[in-house]
Chains A and B, each alone.
Chain A
Amino acid sequence: MIVPFGHVLVVFGIIFGLGVFCAVVRRNLIMIVLGIEIMLNAASIAFVGAALRWQNLEGQTFVLFILAVAATEVSVGLAVIVYAFRQTGSFDPNNFNLLR
């Protein structure tokens, strides 16, 4: 009796949209990765809500995996960003737009 499941999905949609917006609009490599984190977070919310809706623990399990993958991806991604920053001296994705 908390809320209809649709409302959870709407919340998920909004946060996901914000994550996409951050990834696409901010001219900063770190913000792109941040946007990805936001998206993953929104997905976790959706999964947990779904687990409650169908009363199945699969959803919560998957959130565990999402957490692990997010951690992995952030560490490697930030290492790459730091490396790229050392090469070119800026975080602007415009500097990384030519295939070489």
Chain B
Amino acid sequence: MTFYGFLFYVISAAVIGSTAIAITRRNMVHAVVYLVVSFFGTAMLFYLFGAPFLAALEVIIYAGAIMVLFLFVVMMIRVESPGEVMFPLSQWLPAALFGLIYLAVAVVMIFRTSGTQVPLSALTASPGQFALYVFEHHWFSIEVISTLLLLALVGALHLGLGRRKNRVEEEI
């Protein structure tokens, strides 16, 4: 076990742990915060796997923008009703069952294929190299992505501001 390997296991454990805790919180703010921790761990994993630019992007966009958006929504909406029913049996039993089956199958699959025994090498791609590659091969996709973001903006605006129009238009 090399040092990097050990690091990998520790960070993975942290990620998995915080995700697991996040999904079992009743208080949604707690859940979001734990998830932010999980995303930090993921960023570290990215850095370990030689994608520093992506690690930075993960923190800025995912943990920084998306999770903050979640926090805004959660904190702005006051829920008066008694809150959600935690883990109803009819839902978590099948989910756990299938999850375990899936995990078992996946593990078996992974360790039977020879291609997965290859150890990863410790390389890294600098941001410059990454950017060059992206804009050389996938510049069109970047444009499409930007249009997609525009769409998201328009959509969110429309749904959010819909209340100002007259009542008839609200009946969507």
Contacts and interface: CB of A to CB of B under 8 A. Distances in A.
Q: Do chains A and B make direct contact within the complex (CB under 8 angstroms)?
A: yes
Interface of A: 1-11, 13-15, 17-22, 24-28, 30-31, 33-35, 37-38, 41, 44-45, 48-49, 51-53, 55, 57, 60-61, 63-65, 67-76, 78-83, 85-86, 89-92
A2 B54 contact: no
Given A6-B113, A18-B23, A27-B85, 8 more contacts: A5-B120, A15-B19, A20-B95, A25-B91, A48-B45, A64-B54, A71-B66, A83-B162
19 contacts: A1-B119, A6-B110, A9-B116, A19-B19, A21-B92, A25-B92, A28-B28, A30-B70, A34-B35, A44-B54, A48-B45, A49-B49, A51-B49, A52-B123, A64-B134, A71-B149, A75-B155, A79-B159, A83-B162
Instruction: Give the contact-size bracket for chain B.
Output: 35 or more
A3 B120 contact: yes
B70 A34 contact: yes
Given A1-B121, A18-B20, A41-B42, A27 B88 contact: yes
